[in-house]
Chain A
Amino acid sequence: MTGNANVKLDDLTRYSGEWLRGVGPQSDIVISSRIRLARNLADYPFISRASPQDRGRIQGQLQTAIPSLADQDDLLCIDVEELAAVDRQFLVERQLISRELAEASGARSVAIGRDEKFSLMINEEDHLRIQVMESGLDLESAWDRINRIDDLIEEKVTFACDETLGYLTACPTNVGTGMRVSVMLHLPALVMTRQIDKVFRSLHKISLAVRGLYGEGSQAMGDFYQISNQITLGRSEKDLIKQVGDVVPVVIKYERQAREFLVQESQENLHDRVSRAYGILRNAQTISSEETMHLLSSVRMGVNLGLIDDLKIPIVNELFIHTQPAHLQKLSGSELDTTDRNIERARYLRRHLAQADRPDSENN
């Protein structure tokens, strides 16, 4: 399994996930819709108490259960323990594994659907974490897909479950459905008009959580925010999806209003800001990841508002991911320190944005 994992990873490098294509409903503002389910095998201790032998057996049992999915999709199985640090980071940047799985130790792995629309993490905080991602706002498709995957695996293994508490998880915060529904939104205008905190406070009041692009911390790089449910017990999967699904259009409406306000109040300032950001990205000789995210965010909004007409959203979406440290190193085929990465990042941006400029280019 691990022998050609590197070759397969290199394959992934050249493409980008289906969920980045910017094709789903409301995809000018909603990047992706994601659902994850936490499951544990009934016959073993949770991960914190699992011996190395337990971890091996858990992994073995789940890996045997997973091929039942293979008729749906080609699966890429990767032994995370054997991966180099840069490859683990690559999968985190790609949203295919969590930081926790990347940084843990001991037997652990991930199985990835070929179009990157789902991944199965083995021996993360729970024995199994199933994750499905769709482009744009499309939680129903995500639920149909993940429910089917869960059913198929459940035919082969026994998950820890209790009549009162539902699916049992290592942390009581996930007990019940074990489900986290999360929608990733791009909200630059709400940030620029300083209304984002107001939105957060009202979401917290109805028990929804808001996080940045890669989950932890409060720093939302590139003005990306994930809205997700905190409660997992006492509400059905459909109800939890509905709660998030109902609130997202409201946030989208606020973002659109803020964009309209910016256009009406100071079209020149906004156009200037967007054009300067685009100018720096196309001409910089060295640039940090943080600055790139910040400028790409303005450019992305500029494209959506028609202020930049020679660039397409899928290219911008891809640049957000491909300019991250591990992606840059994989794409350039060499290990780079921070200084060299900043130079390589600027080179990558110049090349891809110049390419996008050419009308006859395929943009791929």
Chain B
Amino acid sequence: MKCQKCEKPANFHITELTGGKPQEVHLCEDHAREYLTQAGEAGEPPAGTNMAAAMAQQMAQQIAAQMAIGQTADELEKLDQQACPVCGITFYEFRSQGRLGCPNDYVCFKKQLEPLILNIHGESQHVGKSPKGASVASRERTQLIRLRREMKSAIAEEAYERASQLRDQIRQIEGGRESRMGGDE
């Protein structure tokens, strides 16, 4: 395959993610370097715009740049459509709005988020303060979010028996948490 910008062979196959649908770009080494540098410079937040929106945009571009190399459009589209079982957000939704949907996204999008987090912070391991009872109830918390969501959709579908089962499960977990928290004091 030839480079899209000159006659040299295309050694770099980059998948562009900034639009709604992934697009493939095939370039020689020189043009690939030029292309990727331009993408990096465009990542600066434009002056005078809303900071949050600019950061989200910058982040989307960073994700795009990181995911671009070595993956086909199909693979990327699949990653994009992956949804969090707890809150329902897809990875595509995250990278277009720059906000995650729930704490469990850090688990289910781990593969996609790891390089992004490393790029932003230059580190991947937290150092510093942690809540005292942090390890307790870490599974329960995601469970609660999921159960509440399921209960809501059960009610919407008028599946009241299922909804009441879910409500009991939620109460059970909440009860356990409360007595534990009370016991700590």
Whether A and B are associated in the same complex: the answer reads yes
Query: A229-237, A259-267, A274-282, A349-357: which one contacts chain B?
Result: A229-237
State in angstroms the CA–CA spacing of A150 and B130 once bound together. Answer: 11
Contact B87 A45 (CB under 8 A): yes
Interface string of B105-138 (1 = CB under 8 A from A): 0100000010011001111111111111111011
B-contacting residues, A191-247, CB 8 Å = 207, 211, 215-219, 230-239
State in angstroms the CA–CA spacing of A161 and B134 once bound together. Answer: 7
Query: B32-40, B67-75, B95-103: which one contacts chain A?
Result: B95-103
Top 8 A-B pairs, shortest CB-CB distance: A234-B123, A166-B126, A49-B101, A42-B141, A236-B128, A218-B47, A233-B121, A160-B103
* Chain A interface residue bracket vs B: 35 or more
Contact A166 B100 (CB under 8 A): no
Number of A-B contacts (CB under 8 A): 152
Tell me the minimal C-beta distance from B88 to chain A in angstroms: 7
Decide yes or no whether B152 CB sits under 8 A from chain A.
yes
Taking chain B's interface residues, is the majority helix, strand, or loop, or is none over half, making it mixed?
A: loop
A-contacting residues, B70-99, CB 8 Å = 86-89, 97-99
B-contacting residues, A138-167, CB 8 Å = 147, 150, 154-155, 158-167
Known contacts A46-B102, A160-B103, A215-B51; is-contact A172 B59 (Cβ 8 Å): yes
State in angstroms the CA–CA spacing of A177 and B144 once bound together. Answer: 24
User: Which residues of the other chain, B, contact A215 by a CB distance below 8 angstroms?
Assistant: 51
Residue ID in chain B nearest A232 by CB atoms:
B121
Contact B102 A45 (CB under 8 A): yes
Decide yes or no whether A175 CB sits under 8 A from chain B.
yes
Decide yes or no whether A176 CB sits under 8 A from chain B.
yes
Decide yes or no whether A360 CB sits under 8 A from chain B.
no
Contact B87 A49 (CB under 8 A): yes
Known contacts A170-B100, A172-B59, A172-B100; is-contact A42 B137 (Cβ 8 Å): yes
**Chain A residues within CB distance 8 Å of chain B:** 40, 42-49, 51, 54, 100, 125, 147, 150, 154-155, 158-168, 170-173, 175-177, 207, 211, 215-219, 230-239
Contact A236 B51 (CB under 8 A): no
Contact A176 B121 (CB under 8 A): yes
State in angstroms the CA–CA spacing of A168 and B84 once bound together. Answer: 16
Tell me the minimal C-beta distance from B144 to chain A in angstroms: 5
22 pairs, A vs B, C-beta closer than 8 Å: A45-B145, A49-B101, A125-B99, A155-B185, A160-B141, A164-B125, A165-B124, A166-B128, A168-B103, A172-B113, A175-B106, A175-B117, A176-B126, A216-B50, A217-B48, A217-B51, A219-B48, A231-B122, A233-B123, A234-B121, A235-B128, A236-B127
